[in-house]
Amino acid sequence: MQEIIDAIESHADRATCEALALPDTYRAALIRREDADMFAGVESKDKDPRRSIKIDHVPVPELAHGEALIAVMASSINYTTVWTSIFEPVSTFGFLQRYAKSHPDGARHDLPYHVIGSDAAGVVLRVGPGVNAFAPGDRVVAHCLSVELESPAGHNDTMLDPEQRIWGYETNFGGLAELAIVKSNQLMAKPEHLTWEEAAVPGLVNSTAYRQLVSKNGADMKQGDVVLIWGASGGLGSYATQYALNGGAVPICVVSSPEKAKIARSMGAELIIDRSAEGYAFWKDPQTQDPKEWQRLGKKIRELTGGEDPDIVFEHPGRETFGASVYVARRGGTIVTCASTSGFMHEYDNRYLWMNLKKIIGTHFANYREAFEANRLVAKGVIHPTLSQVFTLDQAGDAAYEVHRNLHQGKVGVLALAPRPGLGVTNPLLRSHVLEKINRFTAK
Ligand code: NAP
């Protein structure tokens, strides 16, 4: 691998990259099929990714039509990494088996191990037949939408393709590794002003937040909208907060500690609710909600906004908060959801939905165009990566543990082939302009 790293660090051209010898195996963070029952009987919060995520050498897979092999300089931890590593809500080996049955190229993915990770920044090493838009030597980031696009159903919005999968979660050969296989239509140019680890972290959450909040396929946010953002300093929320601020909306950022409130403030948010300090208890017991607590949240929001209710509620905690989210949205407002971290079986009082003409919109990752727009805004320096910690590949289990236990802020990065943090910037001038802008802002 050293030859590959040296070539990347010396900005080797296409011919040099094409001529690089590929190793037979590469190091990867993976889970094993034989471990799928290792947490039987253990509570979710106590399932420890440090036990299930292993670092091992695996063979370099064959490239199929439309695919690229990339040298991964850095990757990141997403909640999907946590779900995979604790085998919840289902073991991801079922996804790999289904992929193998559905498509000839899918057969490679059904293995006794699953190389995980749904983000990557790196360099193209090889391309398969049918790839014209990218070539060896290109510095890229990968978004995580893998689609076959053989059905008409996916041609207005590729997220609607029946063979839509999340790379590194529903497919093998993911980004938490020295090498990764992606479809070439997952690739986008790496933002030039970012280091490898900064470039690696936005992909999944930034694209998801873009579709969920900004896109017409999501909440279609407009100037002046009041947006309640749960987990505003976390993966999705820290990008949603930036989109709300950039788009002239008014974010109300919900966080759970003064440190996390500080992060929301440093992004420019002014209206912040510390849910721990407020002590909201939306459930009296596991079966019974407490509408008085929804009302208490609604009152707090009105205090902050001068009497306005949220036009949009940016939902993802799920069962714990969903009843409150439906209640506090304004008449005619939108609750847009992409997840259920605290539980999938939501419960809400439907009277507040229908009598007040509210909408619930389901959303999931992003199509290529949405991911491209989200990455374009990062490349222009108007959306910033929210990277708080960087781990090595060997520490992938520790990194996933941080996210699982909600000990992290923003995003957690993982170095793969990058020998140390801080490398990979090819436009230092843009970097200094962007950093100056951020510093000027945070000094206010
Ligand atoms: P994250 O970095 O862990 O951030 C989530 C934040 O939500 C936490 O930091 C926490 O912030 C808040 N939170 C957690 N549990 C909560 C609860 N019970 N009540 C209120 N707030 C709670 O995770 P993420 O990357 O943003 O992902 C969040 C969820 O979205 C995960 O379930 C993930 O799988 C899902 N997701 C789905 C998609 C998709 O395409 N469908 C894409 C990305 C993520 P505070 O403690 O500060 O309140």
- 131 membership: H or E segment, kind and range: none
- Asked if omega into 89 is within 30° of 0 (cis), the reply is yes
Q: What is the largest CA-CA distance in the chain?
A: 67
Both tokens assigned to 425: 């910037």
Half-sphere exposure of 37 (CA within 13 A, CB side): 1
CATH of 2-204+367-442, one of 3.90.180.10, 2.40.50.140, 3.40.640.10, 3.40.50.300: 3.90.180.10
Summarised one tens digit per residue, pLDDT across range 38-86 is 999 999 999 999 999 999 999 999 999 999 999 999 999 999 999 999 9
- CA 281 from chain centre, in angstroms, equals 28
What is the rounded end-to-end Cα distance, in angstroms, of the chain? 45
* CB of 273 closer than 6 angstroms to any ligand 1 atom: no
Q: Is 224 left (phi over 0), alpha (psi -120 to 50) or beta?
A: left
CATH of domain 219-362: 3.40.50.720
Strand partners, 228: 252, 313
How much of the chain, in percent, has pLDDT values that exceed 90?
A: 95
Summarised one tens digit per residue, pLDDT across range 281-300 is 999 999 999 999 999 999 99
Query: The whole model's pTM is what?
Result: 0.95
Both tokens assigned to 25: 């195996």
Summarised one tens digit per residue, pLDDT across range 303-361 is 999 999 999 999 999 999 999 999 999 999 999 999 999 999 999 999 999 999 999 99
pLDDT at 416 over 80: yes
Q: What is the mean pLDDT of residues 189-216?
A: 98
Distance CA(261)–CA(265), nearest Å, equals 6
* CB of 403 closer than 6 angstroms to any ligand 1 atom: yes
Given this model, what pLDDT does residue 443 score?
63
Distance CA(30)–CA(1), nearest Å, equals 19
* CB of 424 closer than 6 angstroms to any ligand 1 atom: no
Distance CA(201)–CA(199), nearest Å, equals 6
Both tokens assigned to 264: 């929301």
Ligand 1 pocket test: pick from 215, 341, 345 the residue with the most ligand atoms within 8 Å of its Cβ. 341
Any idea where the domains of the chain sit in the sequence?
Answer: 2-204+367-442, 219-362
Summarised one tens digit per residue, pLDDT across range 117-157 is 999 999 999 999 999 999 999 999 999 999 999 999 999 99
* CB of 260 closer than 6 angstroms to any ligand 1 atom: yes
Phi, psi of 197 (to 5 degrees): -70, -30
CA angle 359–362–368, rounded 5-degree value: 130
Phi, psi of 394 (to 5 degrees): -60, -25
